[in-house]
Amino acid sequence: MRKTVKGMLITALAVTLLAGCGNNANSGSNNETGGTSGGEAKSVKLKMFIAQPRLKEHYDKFIADFVAKEKADKNIDVSVQLEMPTADNAAQILKTRLASNDAPDIFALHAINEIPTYYKAGYLEDLTAQPFVGKLLESIKPAVTTTDGKVVAVPLETLSWGYLYNKKIFSDLGLTPPATLTEMKAVVDKLNENKITPFELSYKESWIPQLILPLAAGAMINTEIPDFIDRMNKDEGSFQEIKSAMFDVFDLINSNGTERATEVGGDDGAAAFAAGKAAMWLQGPWYAETILKSNPDLEFGVAPLPINDNDKATMINLSASTSLAVSKSSKNKEVALDFINYVLDDTASNDFFQALKFNPIATVHTYESYPWVNDATAYVKEGKSYQDPSIPQAVKDEVGKSLQAYYAGQISQDDVLAALDKSWKSFNKVNK
């Protein structure tokens, strides 16, 4: 889960956490001697790649705790090099790393969009026999399982999302989340009448405007065009089929949103939303931790985004996104696997997931669900949800850049759709 229309310099946050007294600055593999309690410590340098820089503080603490545990349990001195690029740049950086034999030992990828491609390319270690697998909730496990039955990642984020809304603003004006596009227009009119900006816009990072694509496609696939993905994979479909579903609501949002959208990134958008600068935000609850850090008292909800006047198409998107995999070529698999299992440690995992404001995904998670999770779950229980459509990451990257340009008035709706069709066909050529 980012670029301006003119592009951004690739930036990455890197932090090295060192633990133990036996670290050697030149140690880079697990071939050092020792490693048993009471003997000479083994030194291992573990490289991690996780594109969630806004959550760096929590990862730092969790990794430091892991390093201490590895030293205490196995007498292994672990140094962790954590690279945290923005989501806009992460996919390309990771592909370059993997293609140049510079793969991180552990890296984050999107469960739905990227596991099939990375597994086919031979980049993912088989984790099926690892202890964490038995702790996964049965509803979650399929998202990180390949078509031939191998578990290849530990999930971090599972999502129930649509858009976020300020509950106090809605309550004060007697508003409820709309079930149709016409009702959304009425909500927008009511907000404007009361001099409240309806939508927060934050398009500096291209992954944010692209969120309209899975919402529009998911709704249409589950109501009118169920074979859309299959036909796109065969070069037999076109995004023209969901043109109205994408742009009717996207145009409504843009014409009733905050200013200078291409100058505002996700963190700034979260701060503005937390401050009540707008009543709604086309965004998911993965920003909950950032929002509440700005305003701990804010009450916000999650609701499905209407894309037309068929209320049956107004549904919550269910997805498993950020997941951690182990590189098949890692020279430090013992320690890498220890960390993967530590993610669902019986003791440490609960506090870690709760601090990140992530949904419970395993039997070891006993913390109470968050209010916004309960909001989304209410729709799910009513049958108003769908599984996130399997759209190639390259297509999502393209739609983000194209929608930035569209917002800036540089290209038309048809230009956007033509670019998406071309991107999917290019993906098909490479992945046949």
Tell me the pLDDT tens digit for each residue of 312-365.
Answer: 999 999 888 899 999 999 999 999 999 999 999 999 999 999 998 888 889 999
Count the neighbouring beta carbons within 10 Å of the beta carbon of residue 40: 13
C-alpha–C-alpha distance, residues 58 and 270, integer Å = 18
Average pLDDT over residues 15-43: 46
Average pLDDT over residues 154-183: 96
Per-chain mean pLDDT for the chain: 89
Provide, rounded to the nearest whole percent, the portion of the chain with pLDDT above 90. 74
C-alpha–C-alpha distance, residues 51 and 91, integer Å = 9
Report pLDDT digits (tens) over 210-225: 999 999 999 999 999 9
| pLDDT at res. 263 | 96
Strand segments (E) across 152-226: 154-155, 158-161, 163-166, 199-200
What H or E segment, with its residue span, contains residue 151? none
Most confident of 129-143, 245-259, 355-369, 385-399: 245-259
> Among 24-38, 154-168, 219-233, whose mean pLDDT is lowest?
24-38
| pLDDT at res. 35 | 53
Average pLDDT over residues 281-289: 93
Provide, rounded to the nearest whole percent, the portion of the chain with pLDDT above 70. 91
| pLDDT at res. 8 | 36
The domain locations on the chain are: 12-157+321-358, 160-318+391-431
pLDDT classification of 14: cutoffs 50, 70, 90: very low
Q: Is the pLDDT of residue 127 over 90?
A: yes
Q: Which fold has domain 12-157+321-358?
A: D-Maltodextrin-Binding Protein; domain 2 (3.40.190)
Does this model's pTM top 0.85? My answer is no
CA dist list (Å): 404 to 134, 206, 257, 260, 283: 42, 7, 15, 12, 16
| pLDDT at res. 112 | 84
Average pLDDT over residues 178-191: 98
| pLDDT at res. 13 | 34
Average pLDDT over residues 381-408: 92
| pLDDT at res. 327 | 97
The reply to whether 160-318+391-431 shares the fold of 12-157+321-358 is yes
| pLDDT at res. 377 | 86
| pLDDT at res. 412 | 98
160-318+391-431: CATH superfamily = Periplasmic binding protein-like II (3.40.190.10)
CA dist list (Å): 361 to 63, 139, 325, 364: 20, 9, 16, 8
